Amino acid sequence: MARKANAQKIVEGVLEQGGEAVETYVDAGELLVDEEPDDSKEFSRVRSGTETFVRNEARSIAAFDGRFENALSVEDETEGATTTHHWRITGITDEWGDPDGGDGPEIDEVEITYQTADFNGIQEDSVTVDLVREVASGIDRVEDIGLNSGTQPYNNESAILDLSGFTNTTVAGPLEIEIDGIDNPETAEFAQIEVRGDGETYRTHGIYPNPLSLISTLDTSNIHLFDVGQADASLIQTRDDETILIDTANSYDDFGWAMEELGVDHVDVLVSTHAHSDHIGGAEAFIERFESELDGVDLIIDSGIEHGTQTYNDYIDKIDEHDVSLVLGEEGD
């Protein structure tokens, strides 16, 4: 049977019937459950041990070990533009709230963290929070919730929005946050939002530019965003069978199995965006694995900014050991 799914979400996991895993095929936002399509060879299993498969084409975005929800939309996606960022968090309803009107935990605060964009100069009145909540009379949508931010203006890459002073923030529908006057970064952005309160911390992510619009302009076949926790690793496969790995998380074990499950045995380019351990932690083991046991890495592009950690030194030493071509970024590149 076919079930519709949000085109910006790919559900990865095991659907069960009677306690047993059933085959699930994800095809351009549609789930085919226990129904093998005629062209099933055009699909790839997304994780060893599951029966979930994703079509090998441009609009298949595979998120491993969980569901990826792109919660961020940007009014003007031009690099460097001053614009409005809109966050819409829907998955929290399933975990915290009851859309049929039951009691649930309340939200105390929301933290938004960007990698490269920042909140410098953003004032409290530039941030609005809307919430669908549960009250005694039923479901209620409240707009422009007052924030107790403590210090103004916001600064740096992270901001905490304090909702604890607002009466009744019990979740019963989407949580929406609008930030006006934020500057788009000059590079791709992978941001995180955390919702904290009486329930277990809910965490989801946002990507700029929107990956679905990005895919339409790139000659790509697959973009894989690996769920590696508080870290980053992603893989681009072009229609010309070129592979580009962006960052290597904290450990190769966090994503290497997924790459090999996809049949990747050669990487054309590894891009190390910066030298923090949550971006290059798996680089040493990745290089060793691909250079010694698989078909190698052709080129590594590094930010060129040195970092005096053992992790960074081991990564550079491994590049030298296997004589992998290395390009260091320079200001203005």
| Per-residue pLDDT tens digits for 112-153 | 988 788 888 887 788 888 887 777 776 777 877 767 655 455
- Give residue-wise pLDDT tens across range 79-117: 889 999 999 887 776 666 554 444 567 888 899 988 788
Alpha helix segments (H runs only) across 109-255: 211-217
Q: Is 296 within 8 Å of 290 (Cβ atoms)?
A: yes
Determine the distance from the C-alpha atom of residue 113 to the mean position of all C-alpha atoms in its chain, rounded to a whole number.
12
Preceding peptide of 153 cis, ω within 30°: yes
Q: Is 230 within 8 Å of 217 (Cβ atoms)?
A: no
Report helix, strand or coil for 312: helix
Q: pLDDT category, 323, cuts 50, 70, 90?
A: very high
Q: How far, in Å, CA of 34 to CA of 117, rounded?
A: 43
- The answer to whether 71-208 and 226-322 have equal CATH topology is no
Q: Which CATH architecture has domain 226-322?
A: 4-Layer Sandwich (3.60)
Q: How far, in Å, CA of 248 to CA of 246, rounded?
A: 7
Q: pLDDT category, 311, cuts 50, 70, 90?
A: very high
Query: Rounded to the nearest 5°, which phi and psi values hold at 301?
Result: -110, 120
Q: How many helices (H) and strands (E) does the chain have?
A: 6, 25
**Quick one: CA dihedral 148, 149, 151, 152, positive or negative?**
negative
How does DSSP classify residue 259? H
Task: Answer yes or no: CATH 1.10.238 is held by domain 71-208.
Answer: no
- Give residue-wise pLDDT tens across range 11-65: 333 333 333 445 666 554 455 556 677 777 666 554 444 555 555 543 333 333 3
Determine how many CB atoms are found less than 10 A away from the CB of residue 230. Answer: 10
Determine how many CB atoms are found less than 10 A away from the CB of residue 323. Answer: 8
Largest Cα–Cα distance of the chain, in whole Å?
Answer: 69
How is residue 164 written in tokens?
A: 């604890």
- Give residue-wise pLDDT tens across range 164-199: 777 778 877 788 999 999 988 877 677 888 889 888
How is residue 290 written in tokens?
A: 């691909």
Rg (CA), the chain: 21
Would you list the domain boundaries of the chain? 2-57, 71-208, 226-322
Q: Is 13 within 8 Å of 67 (Cβ atoms)?
A: yes
Residue owning tokens 């990745």:
286
How is residue 308 written in tokens?
A: 């005096």
